[in-house]
Chains A and B, each alone.
Chain A
Amino acid sequence: MRGLISAEFLKLRRQSKTYYALAAVTIIELLIFITAYYQGSAILDLLLSNLRQSFYFEGTLLNGNLIMYIVLNSLWFNVPLILMIVTSSLVTDEYKDNSVQTVMLQAVKKWQFMLAKYLAAIVFTLLVMAFMMVTTFILAYSLFGNGDLVVYLGTLNFFKAPEAFQRICWAFGSGSIAMVFYSVVSVTLAVLMQESAKTWIVSALFLIITNLLLKAEFLPAQVDAVFFPKLMDTWQQLFNYEVNWHQLGFNNLLLVMYTMAFAALGIWLFQKKDIG
């Protein structure tokens, strides 16, 4: 099993897609920084224009914490899409190169082979999130400095700089669980689709539908509370003024269970497949 996992990491290290993914994450960050630099003040001015009639402002809200929050918003679509493309290739490349048949000819159990794929996908996702977090922290604070965070979630919520930093760290943690979920789903979809192009399209569709269902309001409240698309905004709940930690923990636990269920489904599907 350890050998299988090492082999998966070696493949990830050697494949160019991994570095393209890291480059894509960096490009997204840089674009956010450039946009914030040129448009951030104008957006904040518009947001606070009514308050300016009654108040003077002392201090700036265009700071590293706001940039970190905007970068976190790339967890809705951009980052999961990149992760799904890369992690699904762990399986689709095996089919494309016919290496899956070679591996199966050896004394390797199918479930172990797939479990190694899932573990590699999870570790890779966590490494990308850590990379994103560290690079954003360094760039955001060095370019924009520290300061209070303002977020609009029904009300305009202000957080002092130390509290904002803590909430951002927790949000990266909670967001990582959501990203792991997407990666695991893409590996499962790869088992089903086998071809990379088809897997990417289905993965993108899954992502779009999940995002649409997150906003849907036609589901009964009981379903809403446990349906996985409704759990994808869990990291954002950390920016409610009062955090419901119990709900947050429950949602994350539920998302971990969904992740395990999708992985189990992928392993079961692969187990049933006849590798010709």
Chain B
Amino acid sequence: MLCALWVHAQKIDADLLRIKQRMDSVQHFSAMVTLNLDVPFIQMPTKNAEVNYQHGSGMKFASKDFVMLPKRGLDFSMNELFKHPFITVDRGTITRGGKMLKVINLIPTDGKSDLVMAVLYMDTKARHLVESEINTRKDGSYTLQMQYQPGQTLPQNVEAAFAIERLKIPLNFMGKDTKIDRKKMRSMETKTGKIKMQFRYRDVKLG
């Protein structure tokens, strides 16, 4: 895939390709992940799960508890972004948390792509993707923020923020004195939800 992308090298940001190459070097990892969900109409305690990643097969989760895992935000190797041809547009730099970040727009050139556009914030010095704002056709928009330990390839903290629609509550599931506040419910039709994930890596194998 990288070879194919290099053909369009003049259109794809070199720093992005370097970060992609670095993430692709991860062959395997296992970790314990702590999940904290922050959605206005959901009260959930902190959950823990075990995650195993194998290059080419993606992440597999296991937990004794019931856990909710975000559909987006766990694609550390950026395979979803690189799935279809795209171009990048350099938008300059910004400073966040004392770090100079390079900002690029990633625009797909293939109509098959679910991605509409992504804005990526890269720490080019540390070769890390720090933040991304992703707009998709099917899954709406979401943002990802990643924090890394110095010298680490994989992020330690990942925060995914996304729009979430209000719940449809089956009547036979409601508590006896649960009141339906339609005005409040309408105001809650779409809310922003967040999930914070903290990874504690046990075994990371780089290729």
A contact residues vs B (CB 8 Å cutoff): 43, 46-47, 49-51, 53-61, 73, 76, 147-148, 150-161, 163, 211, 214-215, 233, 236, 239, 241
Contact = CB atoms under 8 A, between A and B. Distances in A.
B42 interface: yes
A154 B61 CA distance: 30
A46 B167 CA distance: 9
B164 A157 contact: no
Contact of B45 (A49, A159, A236): A159
Contacts of B172: 43
A55 B67 CA distance: 9
Contacts of A158: 42-45, 66
B125 interface: no
Interface in B155-205: 162, 164-170, 172-179, 193
B85 interface: no
Contacts of B168: 46-47, 49-50
Nearest to B61: A58
Interface stretch (B3-11, B22-30, B68-76, B116-124): B68-76
Given A56-B61, A56-B70, A148-B66, 15 more contacts: A43-B173, A54-B139, A55-B68, A56-B71, A57-B67, A58-B67, A58-B69, A60-B66, A154-B175, A155-B41, A157-B43, A159-B45, A163-B45, A214-B177, A239-B175
B101 interface: no
B14 interface: no
A237 B156 CA distance: 38
Interface size class of B (residues with CB under 8 A): 35 or more
B49 interface: yes
Given A155-B43, A158-B42, A51 B176 contact: no
B45 A160 contact: yes
A55 B174 contact: no
A59 B49 CA distance: 11
A151 to B, nearest CB: 7
B176 A233 contact: yes
B174 A59 contact: no
Given A50-B164, A76-B176, A160-B45, A58 B66 contact: yes
Interface string B83-104: 0000000000000000000000
Interface of B: 41-45, 49, 61-72, 139, 162, 164-170, 172-179, 193
Most buried by A among B43, B61, B170, B179: B43
Contacts of B139: 53-54
Given A53-B139, A154-B178, A155-B41, A58 B63 contact: yes
Nearest to B174: A152
Contacts of B67: 57-59
B66 A152 contact: no
B49 A58 contact: yes
Contacts of A151: 175
Contact of A241 (B43, B62, B64): B43
A47 B164 contact: no
A46 to B, nearest CB: 5
20 contacts: A50-B164, A50-B165, A53-B71, A54-B193, A55-B68, A55-B71, A56-B68, A56-B69, A56-B71, A57-B68, A58-B68, A59-B66, A152-B173, A152-B178, A156-B42, A233-B175, A233-B176, A233-B177, A236-B176, A241-B43
B160 to A, nearest CB: 9
B184 to A, nearest CB: 10
A83 to B, nearest CB: 18
Most B-side CB within 10 Å, residue of A60, A153, A163, A211: A153
A51 B170 contact: no
Contacts of A55: 68-71
Contact of A160 (B65, B164, B177): B65
